[in-house]
């Protein structure tokens, strides 16, 4: 599924992967929240509810430029660095924002994620 992230006045293209967790995130769209920096490798926000991680690997290793779900923290995550392989991480999509621009966003930056218009 093609998506758009709105960060201030910027529109950023992305996509959600074809997996059960990404499908649950698609059901939450449009979604907007403040994202905070975590461990100088990602921006994250807490989702309003837990997502079912049945049917996906127990652990994953997201790459910079990907979107993930961290089940223990109920977090939607935008990665600008590699966190390594962790239990509870699920790769659910990707985005086209330059990684340094994501890294530079101040804490609490509001990001809206919506389905792209067809």
pLDDT at 15: 98
pLDDT at 39: 95
Residue 111 pLDDT exceeds 80: yes
Percent of the chain past pLDDT 70, that is, above it, reads: 99
* Region 79-105 average pLDDT: 97
Residue 118 pLDDT exceeds 80: no
Secondary element (H or E) of residue 83: none
Q: What is the overall mean pLDDT for the chain?
A: 96
pLDDT at 117: 87
- The answer to whether 96 and 10 have CB atoms below 8 angstroms apart is no
pLDDT one-digit tens code per residue, 32-72: 999 999 999 999 999 999 999 999 999 999 999 999 999 99
């Amino acid at each position: 599924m093609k998506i758009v992230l709105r960060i201030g006045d910027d529109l950023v293209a992305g996509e959600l992967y074809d997996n059960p967790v990404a499908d649950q995130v698609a059901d939450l769209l449009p979604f907007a929240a403040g994202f905070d920096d975590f461990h100088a490798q990602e921006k994250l926000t807490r989702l309003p509810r837990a997502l079912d991680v049945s049917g996906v690997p127990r652990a994953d290793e997201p790459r910079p430029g990907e979107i993930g779900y961290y089940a223990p923290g109920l977090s939607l995550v935008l990665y600008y660095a590699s966190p390594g392989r962790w239990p509870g991480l699920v790769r659910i999509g990707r985005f086209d924002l330059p990684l340094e621009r994501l890294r530079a966003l101040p804490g609490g930056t509001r990001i809206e994620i919506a389905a792209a218009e067809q």
